[in-house]
């Protein structure tokens, strides 16, 4: 064995024979292996249907007991737009596990291969092609998961995705969606709305939506803020409240497809009194969440919205 500890960083969203072979090879060369499962604290979605615990269970059933005893699984947030924060979290996890000098033997690509996404989609559609090259123990686990309520919701969301993609199938090339979101803060709190419709119906999100043909990114963010949270700012006040804005464009950020969003940060703290908000349009509810609650409730925030908040607001 060349090193006492190996490190694998991967989401393992669908462990196939190649994934298990990579893990067993690491076990053959190292005394133990730390598997850092990315996507910790994400809500369920067709992109990542299973929790860290569930993905660890799939790895567990695929390995002999004597090998699993040498594997330690930890959850790792993606921090899509803050690689330095992701690295610091991984380093902290390795120190806790006594594996700070672990040798990296595998890190998954930053963008998931299309074939892997399609295999997972086949499972969520109720197909059978996903079984190919999947260990029998993992197949049994996944068949059991199909019987639970979580699968039913994922199946519906996959059907919504398929129907949406059919609507633009005749386009000469896959569309790129452009949206705008507002990160509105007041005295250590952030404004969020609850989505009324798919994708992510029932989950919480930043106020936002699609950019219209004849408006700027900033105007789109402010329009959606008014429509979904009932919050309107006069031009002079708006100019004082805007802190910064930036583009968020990770290729896998949205299950809708290739989606690029503009995030606009407005801090309303100097108003003194917290603004009243009221849900509307695609929003079922609108609430103010304390920054301290983000760590506890981030699994209720859709897609990469917690990453957008943290990337824009240093205190969050």
CB atoms within 10 A of CB 202: 14
Q: Using 50 as the pLDDT threshold, list the residues of the chain that sit under it.
A: 1
Task: Classify residue 68 by burial, with Cβ atoms within 10 Å: 0-12, 13-18, 19+.
Answer: middle
Q: State residue 158's pLDDT score.
A: 97
Domain count, the chain: 2
Q: State residue 294's pLDDT score.
A: 94
Give the Å distances, CA to CA, from 106 to 48, 80, 222, 238, 272.
20, 19, 43, 47, 50
Are 89 and 197 members of one domain? Answer: no
For 194-246, what is each residue's pLDDT tens digit?
999 889 999 999 999 999 999 999 999 999 999 999 999 988 888 999 999 99
Q: Which domain holds residue 143?
A: 3-149
* Pairs from 237-243 (Cβ < 8 Å, separation ≥ 24): 238/266, 240/270, 241/266, 241/267, 241/268, 241/270, 242/218, 242/266, 243/267, 243/312
Maximal C-alpha separation, the chain? 67
Q: State residue 248's pLDDT score.
A: 98
Q: State residue 2's pLDDT score.
A: 55
Are 245 and 283 members of one domain? Answer: yes
Q: State residue 100's pLDDT score.
A: 87
Q: State residue 283's pLDDT score.
A: 83
Q: What is the CATH number of the domain that holds 260?
A: 3.90.79.10
User: Does any domain span residue 160?
Assistant: no
User: Does any domain span residue 19?
Assistant: yes
User: Does any domain span residue 302?
Assistant: yes
Are 132 and 190 members of one domain? Answer: no
Phi, psi of 157, deg, nearest 5: -70, -35
Domain stop point among 149, 169, 187 = 149
Q: What is the CATH number of the domain that holds 52?
A: 3.40.50.620
CB atoms within 10 A of CB 190: 23
Distance of CA 216 to the CA centre of its chain: 27
Are 12 and 143 members of one domain? Answer: yes
Q: State residue 279's pLDDT score.
A: 83
User: Does any domain span residue 169?
Assistant: no
Q: Which residues pair with 259 in a beta bridge?
A: 177
Assign 3-state DSSP to the chain and report helix, strand, coil percentages, each to 5. 40, 25, 35
Domain stop point among 129, 149, 169 = 149
User: Does any domain span residue 171?
Assistant: no
Are 290 and 226 members of one domain? Answer: yes
For 105-127, what is each residue's pLDDT tens digit?
999 998 999 999 999 999 999 99
């Amino acid at each position: 064995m060349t090193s006492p500890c190996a490190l694998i960083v991967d989401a393992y969203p669908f462990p196939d024979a190649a994934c298990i072979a990579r893990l067993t090879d690491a076990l053959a060369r190292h005394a133990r292996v730390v598997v850092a499962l990315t996507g910790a604290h994400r809500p369920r979605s067709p992109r990542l249907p299973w929790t860290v615990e569930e993905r660890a269970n799939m790895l567990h059933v695929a390995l002999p007991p004597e090998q699993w005893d040498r594997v330690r699984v930890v959850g790792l947030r993606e921090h899509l737009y803050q690689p330095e924060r992701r690295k610091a979290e991984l380093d902290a996890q390795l120190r806790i596990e006594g594996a700070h000098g672990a040798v990296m033997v595998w890190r998954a690509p930053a963008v998931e291969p299309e074939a892997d996404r399609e295999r997972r989609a086949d499972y969520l559609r109720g197909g059978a092609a996903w079984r190919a090259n999947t260990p029998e123990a993992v197949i049994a686990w996944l068949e059991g998961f199909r019987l639970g309520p979580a699968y039913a919701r994922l199946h519906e969301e996959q059907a919504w995705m398929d129907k949406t993609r059919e609507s633009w199938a005749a386009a000469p090339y896959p569309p790129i969606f452009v949206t705008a979101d507002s990160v509105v803060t007041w005295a250590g709190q952030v404004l969020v709305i609850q989505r009324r419709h798919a994708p992510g119906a029932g989950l919480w999100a930043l106020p936002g939506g699609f950019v219209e043909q004849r408006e700027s990114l900033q105007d789109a963010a402010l329009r959606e803020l008014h429509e979904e949270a009932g919050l309107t700012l006069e031009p002079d006040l708006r100019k004082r409240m805007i802190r910064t804005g930036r583009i968020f464009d990770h290729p896998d950020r949205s299950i809708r497809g290739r989606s690029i969003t503009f995030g606009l940060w407005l801090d309303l703290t100097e108003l003194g009194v917290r603004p009243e908000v009221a849900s509307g349009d695609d929003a079922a509810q609108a609430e103010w969440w304390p920054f301290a609650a983000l760590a506890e409730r981030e699994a209720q925030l859709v897609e990469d919205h917690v990453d957008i908040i943290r990337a824009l607001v240093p205190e969050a």
